[in-house]
Amino acid sequence: MMKIDKNSSVPLYAQLKDLLSERIEDGSYGPGSQIPTELALCEELDLSRPTVRKAISELVNEGLLIIRKGKGTFVREAPDHLILPNFSPFRFCFLAGQSLEDKRFIDYEKIDTLPAEYESAFAGNSGDGSGRYFEVIWTEGEPRKSFAYCRSFIPAAMFPTLAEDIRARRRMIDITANRYPLLPHRADWRLHVRPASHEEARALDISRGTPVLVVESACHSRSGNVSEFSVAVLRADRCVLQFEPVSQRRD
């Protein structure tokens, strides 16, 4: 039986939050189990609906609880960690992939302009024709257990039939045939952490604002032009990136 001290200086929602956290930690509410409804908690502890809702909301934001629409609020299960060995900036680049089989496509279409934050990625390109691009969006991972939300921007002049090739599920070896000089050869990249957007959160089944790992890669072809700019958003609670060891030279 949980108790709330209404004479305490600690806000009621904070007390309820601590009590629920304790129940999760001691196993009273096990991983994947449903906690009492807001109404049940209100009646049991003589609390208002906004107080209960605020406590639950904070636990959802902290990743302890998850709300499933139409079903209720559940204790989040600890996900299995996915190890990505020998991680490189090409890991989530579309043109560097070996197959389409591991990708669940959300969209692929030709666009006239790039999102403003990515315009500079292709600024140094020469002879890229119309300036139009293909935007390819996909997720990786098992159905309903995606660990990566990926977006790639590829100059349409370099791969003019890309959308048709994806729609026909052509093999990557055929999509890239006779275009070896245009394929990613080196990459400028960065890895950083930021809150997930609404679209990213929905694709990865996490709460909006949850910290995610972001890998941004500007992939250069052998000609020096950028043939692809990719953005991979990874679930930080599921992915472990392993890098090749680097020896430190001492003279």
* Confidence (pLDDT) at 156: 94
Domain assignment present for 246: no
User: Tokens 């994947």 belong to which residue?
Assistant: 32
Could you tell me where the DSSP H helices lie in the chain?
Answer: 12-25, 38-45, 49-61, 162-167, 172-175, 198-204
Angle at 220 between CA 136 and CA 166, to 5 degrees: 25
Look up the CATH number of the domain holding residue 183.
Answer: 3.40.1410.10
* Confidence (pLDDT) at 187: 95
* Confidence (pLDDT) at 69: 84
User: For residue 172, what are the domain limits?
Assistant: 82-241
3-class DSSP state of 27: coil
Beta strands (DSSP E) in 81-196 are 82-84, 104-111, 133-142, 145-155, 186-195
Domain assignment present for 2: no
* Confidence (pLDDT) at 251: 52
Q: State how many domains the chain has.
A: 2
Look up the CATH number of the domain holding residue 19.
Answer: 1.10.10.10
pLDDT per residue of the chain (251 residues) written in tens, 0 to 9? 467 888 899 999 999 999 999 999 888 999 889 999 999 999 999 999 999 999 999 998 887 898 888 899 999 886 677 888 889 999 999 999 988 988 999 999 999 989 999 989 998 888 655 579 999 999 998 877 899 999 999 999 999 999 999 999 999 999 999 899 999 999 999 999 999 999 999 999 888 899 999 999 999 999 899 999 999 999 998 899 998 775 555 55
Same domain, 133 and 53: no
Domain assignment present for 5: no
Q: What is the pLDDT of residues 163-222, one digit of tens each?
A: 999 999 999 999 999 899 999 999 999 999 999 999 999 999 888 899 999 999 999 999
CA distance 23 to 26: 5
Same domain, 41 and 60: yes
Please list, in sequence order, all residues whose beta carbon lies within 8 angstroms of the beta carbon of residue 28, skipping any fewer than 6 positions away: none
Same domain, 182 and 235: yes
Domain assignment present for 64: yes
Same domain, 70 and 91: no
* Confidence (pLDDT) at 4: 87
* Confidence (pLDDT) at 79: 66
Q: DSSP 3-state helix, strand, coil percentages of the chain (rounded to 5)?
A: 25, 30, 45
